[in-house]
């Protein structure tokens, strides 16, 4: 692996992967990035993250939920993101869904906490029922990367203790 590739992965691994996210827009960001990673490498997504942020109004849920057909076409023409109509439509529809969850539960994070803990199979079923373009791998990575499921780091990983100090939901027993 080249030094550039190592650097890209190291920042994500050491500072983001497995750490809880308490901001709904950032949770939405992670969900959209995971959806867009389907069929591609995570490195591709990390390299395009800034492009995604710019294209999707910095993952502002309200703004993305209000996107029009014109916005869909703008996104399809944007080389800074993954130009896949199904993934673009999923981002917009999932933003609308999250707005509903916020009305019902107070936040996307509270919706996730309300359903915690679940097995991966239960989470996948719930996500498939609730969101678009959310298969098993997407759901697993989203939940692991945001601290709802264990496994982002092993106990002998240098970041493991920092993740534990952040009190991810997988450590919380109900």
pLDDT for position 6: 86
Percent of the chain with pLDDT over 70: 100
Catalytic (active-site) positions: 12, 34, 42
What are the pLDDT digits (tens) for 119-132? 999 999 999 999 99
Mean pLDDT across the chain: 97
- The Cα 95–Cα 59 span in angstroms is 9
User: Is residue 174's pLDDT more than 80?
Assistant: no
End-to-end CA distance of the chain: 41
Q: Which long-range contacts (CB under 8 A, 24 or more apart) does 66-72 make?
A: 67/92, 67/95
User: Could you tell me which of 46, 58, 95, 89 has the C-alpha nearest to residue 71?
Assistant: 89
Which helix (H) or strand (E) is 8 found in, with range?
Answer: helix 3-15
What are the pLDDT digits (tens) for 49-102? 999 999 999 999 999 999 999 999 999 999 999 999 999 999 999 999 999 999
With contact defined as beta carbons under 8 Å apart, do 64 and 91 qualify? yes
Judge residue 133's burial from the number of C-beta atoms within 10 Å of its C-beta, 0-12 exposed, 13-18 middle, 19 or more buried.
buried
- The Cα 11–Cα 17 span in angstroms is 9
Ranges of H-type helices in 58-107: 61-65, 69-76, 85-105
pLDDT for position 49: 97
Confidence of residue 1 (pLDDT cuts 50, 70, 90): confident
Q: Which long-range contacts (CB under 8 A, 24 or more apart) does 156-161 make?
A: 158/14, 159/13, 159/14, 159/17, 159/18
Confidence of residue 5 (pLDDT cuts 50, 70, 90): confident
What are the pLDDT digits (tens) for 109-120? 999 999 999 999
């Amino acid at each position: 692996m080249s030094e550039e590739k190592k650097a890209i992965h190291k920042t994500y691994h050491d500072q983001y992967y497995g750490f809880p996210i308490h901001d709904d827009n950032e949770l939405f960001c992670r969900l959209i990035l995971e959806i867009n990673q389907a069929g591609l490498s995570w490195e591709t997504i990390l390299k395009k993250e800034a492009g995604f942020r710019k294209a999707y109004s910095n993952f502002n849920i309200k703004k993305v939920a209000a996107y029009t057909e014109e916005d869909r076409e703008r996104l399809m023409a944007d080389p800074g993101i993954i130009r896949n109509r199904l993934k673009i439509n999923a981002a917009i529809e999932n933003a609308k869904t999250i707005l509903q969850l916020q009305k019902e539960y107070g936040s996307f994070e509270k919706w996730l906490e309300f359903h915690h803990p679940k097995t991966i199979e239960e989470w996948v079923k719930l996500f498939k029922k609730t969101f678009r373009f959310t298969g098993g791998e997407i759901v697993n990575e989203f939940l692991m990367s945001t601290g709802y499921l264990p496994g982002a780091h092993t106990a002998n990983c240098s970041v493991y203790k920092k993740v534990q100090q952040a009190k991810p939901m997988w450590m919380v027993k109900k």
